[in-house]
A and B are shown apart, each in its own frame.
Chain A
Amino acid sequence: MPEVSPDQYLALFRDMWRVRKFEQALEREFKRGKVPGMLHVGLGQEATLAAIAHSLRKEDGIFPDHRCHGLLFLKGTPGKKIMAELFGRATGICSGKGGSLHSADASVNNFGDNGVQGSYMVTALGVALGWKMQGKNNVSAVVVGDGTSGRGEWHESMNLASVWKAPVFFICVNNGYAISTPVGFSHATEDLVDFAKSYKIPAVQVDGNDVLASFQATQEAVAHIRAGKGPYFVEYKTWRWQGMFSGEFRPAEEVKYYKEDHEPIALAKADLLKKGIASPEQLDAIEKEAEAEIEEWVSYAQNSPLPDPAKATANVYIGWEVESWQS
Chain B
Amino acid sequence: MAVITTVQALNDALGLMMAEDQRVYCLGEDIGKMGGDFGVTRGLYDEFGGERVRDTPLSEAAIIGAAVGSAMVGMRPVAEIMFADFIGTCYDQVVNNAAKVHYMFDGQFRAPIVIRTACGGGFGGGPHHSQQIEGWFMNVPGLVIVAPSNPHDAKGLLIASIEDDNPILFLEHKALYRQKGEVPEGKYTVPLRKAKVVRPGKDITVVTSMKTLYDAMAAANELEAEGVSVEVIDLRTLRPWDHQTVLESVARTGRAIVVNEAPKIGGLAADVSAVISEEAFSYLKAPVMRVCGLDTPIPFSLPLEKLILPDKDRVKQGILKVCGK
Beta-carbon nearest neighbor of B77 in chain A: A126
Cross-chain contact B61 with A98 (CB below 8 angstroms): no
Inter-chain contacts of A125 with B (CB < 8 A): 62, 65-66, 69
Inter-chain contacts of B75 with A (CB < 8 A): 130, 133-134
B106 → A minimal CB distance (Å)? 4
Cross-chain contact B92 with A126 (CB below 8 angstroms): no
Cross-chain contact B166 with A124 (CB below 8 angstroms): no
**Which residues of A, 24-61, contact B by the 8 Å Cβ criterion?**
61
Contact-residue bracket for chain B = 35 or more
Cross-chain contact A112 with B104 (CB below 8 angstroms): yes
Q: Mark B69-106, 1 if CB is under 8 A from A, else 0.
A: 11111110100000000000000110011000111111
Cross-chain contact A124 with B69 (CB below 8 angstroms): yes
Cross-chain contact B106 with A122 (CB below 8 angstroms): no
A59 → B minimal CB distance (Å)? 11
Is B67 interfacial (CB 8 A cutoff)? Answer: yes
Give CA–CA (A157, B77) in the complex, Å: 17
Contact stretch, chosen from B51-59, B125-133, B206-214: B51-59
Is B68 interfacial (CB 8 A cutoff)? Answer: yes
Inter-chain contacts of B77 with A (CB < 8 A): 126
**Which residues of A, 151-180, contact B by the 8 Å Cβ criterion?**
152-153, 156-157, 159-160
Inter-chain contacts of B144 with A (CB < 8 A): 317
Beta-carbon nearest neighbor of A157 in chain B: B62
Inter-chain contacts of A119 with B (CB < 8 A): 65, 92-93, 96-97
A81 → B minimal CB distance (Å)? 12
A301 → B minimal CB distance (Å)? 17
Give CA–CA (A159, B86) in the complex, Å: 20
Is A215 interfacial (CB 8 A cutoff)? Answer: no
Give CA–CA (A102, B193) in the complex, Å: 30
**Which residues of B, 275-291, contact A by the 8 Å Cβ criterion?**
none
Contact stretch, chosen from A15-23, A103-111, A190-198, A275-283: A103-111
Is A137 interfacial (CB 8 A cutoff)? Answer: no
Cross-chain contact A105 with B71 (CB below 8 angstroms): no
Give CA–CA (A131, B71) in the complex, Å: 10
Give CA–CA (A207, B103) in the complex, Å: 38
Cross-chain contact B142 with A121 (CB below 8 angstroms): no
Inter-chain contacts of A130 with B (CB < 8 A): 69-75
Cross-chain contact B96 with A116 (CB below 8 angstroms): yes
Cross-chain contact A102 with B62 (CB below 8 angstroms): no
Is B108 interfacial (CB 8 A cutoff)? Answer: yes
Cross-chain contact A156 with B104 (CB below 8 angstroms): no
**Provided the pairs A120-B97, A123-B68 are in contact, do residues A319 and B164 lie with their beta carbons within 8 angstroms?**
yes
Inter-chain contacts of A273 with B (CB < 8 A): none
Cross-chain contact A314 with B72 (CB below 8 angstroms): no
**Which residues of A, 304-318, contact B by the 8 Å Cβ criterion?**
311, 314-318
A169 → B minimal CB distance (Å)? 14
Q: Mark A89-108, 1 if CB is under 8 A from B, else 0.
A: 00000110110001011100
Is B141 interfacial (CB 8 A cutoff)? Answer: yes
A131 → B minimal CB distance (Å)? 6
Is B107 interfacial (CB 8 A cutoff)? Answer: yes
Is A322 interfacial (CB 8 A cutoff)? Answer: yes
Residue of A102, A129, A318 near B166 (CB, 8 A) is A318
A56 → B minimal CB distance (Å)? 16
Contact-residue bracket for chain A = 35 or more
Give CA–CA (A153, B66) in the complex, Å: 11
Inter-chain contacts of A120 with B (CB < 8 A): 65, 97
Cross-chain contact B104 with A94 (CB below 8 angstroms): yes
Cross-chain contact B69 with A128 (CB below 8 angstroms): yes
Is B177 interfacial (CB 8 A cutoff)? Answer: no
Q: Which of B67, B68, B193 gathers most chain A CB within 10 Å?
A: B68
Inter-chain contacts of B240 with A (CB < 8 A): 317
Beta-carbon nearest neighbor of A121 in chain B: B65
Give CA–CA (A98, B106) in the complex, Å: 8
Cross-chain contact A160 with B97 (CB below 8 angstroms): no
Give CA–CA (A61, B52) in the complex, Å: 22
Beta-carbon nearest neighbor of A116 in chain B: B96
Cross-chain contact A318 with B102 (CB below 8 angstroms): yes
Q: Mark A271-312, 1 if CB is under 8 A from B, else 0.
A: 000000000000000000000000000000000000000010
B160 → A minimal CB distance (Å)? 11
Is B110 interfacial (CB 8 A cutoff)? Answer: yes
Cross-chain contact B93 with A122 (CB below 8 angstroms): yes
B269 → A minimal CB distance (Å)? 20
Is B219 interfacial (CB 8 A cutoff)? Answer: no
Cross-chain contact A160 with B57 (CB below 8 angstroms): yes
Give CA–CA (A112, B166) in the complex, Å: 19
Cross-chain contact A314 with B67 (CB below 8 angstroms): no
Q: Which of A97, A116, A129 gathers most chain B CB within 10 Å?
A: A129
Is A205 interfacial (CB 8 A cutoff)? Answer: no
Is A114 interfacial (CB 8 A cutoff)? Answer: yes
**Provided the pairs A119-B93, A317-B166 are in contact, do residues A111 and B109 lie with their beta carbons within 8 angstroms?**
yes
The 5 closest A-B pairs by CB, nearest first: A126-B69, A122-B65, A130-B70, A156-B62, A126-B66
Known: A97-B103, A123-B72, A153-B62. 9 other contacts (CB 8 A): A112-B104, A119-B96, A122-B64, A122-B68, A123-B65, A126-B71, A127-B73, A133-B52, A314-B106
Q: List residues of B whose CB falls within 8 A of some A CB.
A: 25, 51-52, 56-57, 59, 61-62, 64-75, 77, 92-93, 96-97, 101-110, 141-142, 144, 164-166, 193, 240
> What are some 17 contacts across the A-B interface (CB < 8 A)?
A94-B104, A94-B108, A98-B106, A104-B105, A119-B65, A121-B65, A126-B67, A129-B69, A129-B70, A133-B52, A133-B75, A152-B61, A157-B65, A159-B62, A311-B106, A316-B142, A317-B240
